[in-house]
Structure 1
């Protein structure tokens, strides 16, 4: 298969799913990882895809909202590592809130081990994970977004009277100047409501979210008590983030299976 044919297939996959992993392309195209990375690099130079850690993603505009399925295939190991590191901030008997997102779904799986937990969420997927584990779950109402978040006036109204010990918040993007951002205006409003009901805010975001700026800012980084990310975050970027958030936690990588 010629290079331009491979690149067309990669571009088709990115357009169809919003993103694609290098490992999946290696299997699909029957070529080496180096060849796939070279093809992604060429597509990125042409301005056709965004080169991300572990694969390629569709070029994002500030108002574009990737779907849950597209995001769930990207940086899965990093999200699991972040979830494991963040779970220690939930104590037995605590009340917690979790926003929607692929990282918070991974975190919900970790929180199944926390006893006597009460969870508030605007994510049906998070609710399912914790409900199946026998935890008490309060699911907000609202309108469902492409990222599987329940948002809008109904969601905000259901959160207004609640008070939780800690919020685990996934974000579309975070930036020192723009703060926490999302491409969805209603989700921005709902995220603010989640933050308002929490005594402590823990943001869970893999390194690819750093420097991404969505359409709407909903909080400054100074409002974040803990930011949990992964080791792919550029060491040069860490001091500025650490200066703005209460605590910066770099999740340890998952151990390789023996």
Structure 2
């Protein structure tokens, strides 16, 4: 098992449990405690975890902005695969809406050298694309500290002033029965607005979110034109989604 594979497992474990110890990780990863300590040191240096005496713990959700990067790193290989596909649809000169999802954030390295305009409500995306070839337009409004993004009526009105060639959205839940669902009204409102004012809409969704309903169902699956996911998605389920009017890309 290489470092990238161990990194994903370590971050997922910490994200789920809040903390881990070295001995537990050594057993889980089938490797030595020395290797685990070295991996934890690297992850702590990158700001993805907080190193403790006997292991590591999750960064605070309440105030530490690097927690967003920590969340984005969970299932990082799957998210990177999704965003590589998504980036192939963006062309020079495009106007692109990007929402504040942790999966959408992973598209930034693939578009930094493109002469496009990005309109977003995500602070991490703005930071990732500063000093790049991308022209940035930030939707203002009230800042959600956990999501590191602007929300509310001002942000919605800002997006509504523009027209995009493509919109790329994350989604908290998706199911055949209830369509797309969000964890809050403000997230649902932003997603609906971006889809409304874009020529084409892409959902970026890793396979663990399928057939899971969150707090607020807000739109049918075919609100988007495309659903981009990872190769772990169930083929028969993807065919059922396509029957509802959305094209699946893996």
Cα distance change on mapping 1:182 and 1:70 into 2, 3 Å: farther
The 2-side partners of 1:224 and 1:231 are apart by 20
Structure 2 counterpart SS, 1:230: coil
Could you tell me which runs of 5 or more consecutive residues in structure 1 were left unpaired when the two chains were aligned: 1-9, 18-23, 36-66, 251-258
Pick aligned residue for 1:14 from 13, 16, 19: 16
The 2-side partners of 1:25 and 1:243 are apart by 46
Deviation at 1:105, TM superposition (A): 1.0
Aligned to 1:31: 27
Are positions 1:193 and 2:189 aligned together? no
Are positions 1:124 and 2:126 aligned together? no
Cα distance change on mapping 1:127 and 1:86 into 2, 3 Å: same
Deviation at 1:233, TM superposition (A): 0.7
The 2-side partners of 1:232 and 1:26 are apart by 29
- TM-score between both structures, scaled by the size of structure 2: 0.73
Q: Which runs of 4+ in 1 moved over 6 A?
A: 10-13, 24-27
Cα distance change on mapping 1:109 and 1:210 into 2, 3 Å: same
The 2-side partners of 1:107 and 1:29 are apart by 30
Structure 2 counterpart SS, 1:227: strand
The 2-side partners of 1:13 and 1:78 are apart by 16
Deviation at 1:69, TM superposition (A): 4.9
CA contact (8 A) 1:149 1:187 kept: no
- TM-score between both structures, scaled by the size of structure 1: 0.71
The 2-side partners of 1:12 and 1:134 are apart by 35
Cα distance change on mapping 1:177 and 1:93 into 2, 3 Å: same
The 1-side partners of 2:106 and 2:154 are apart by 26
The 1-side partners of 2:23 and 2:226 are apart by 38
CA contact (8 A) 1:78 1:230 kept: yes
Are positions 1:214 and 2:214 aligned together? yes
Could you tell me which runs of 5 or more consecutive residues in structure 2 were left unpaired when the two chains were aligned: 1-11, 32-66
Superposed CA RMSD in Å reads 2.5
Cα distance change on mapping 1:33 and 1:223 into 2, 3 Å: same
Cα distance change on mapping 1:14 and 1:164 into 2, 3 Å: same
Aligned to 1:92: 92
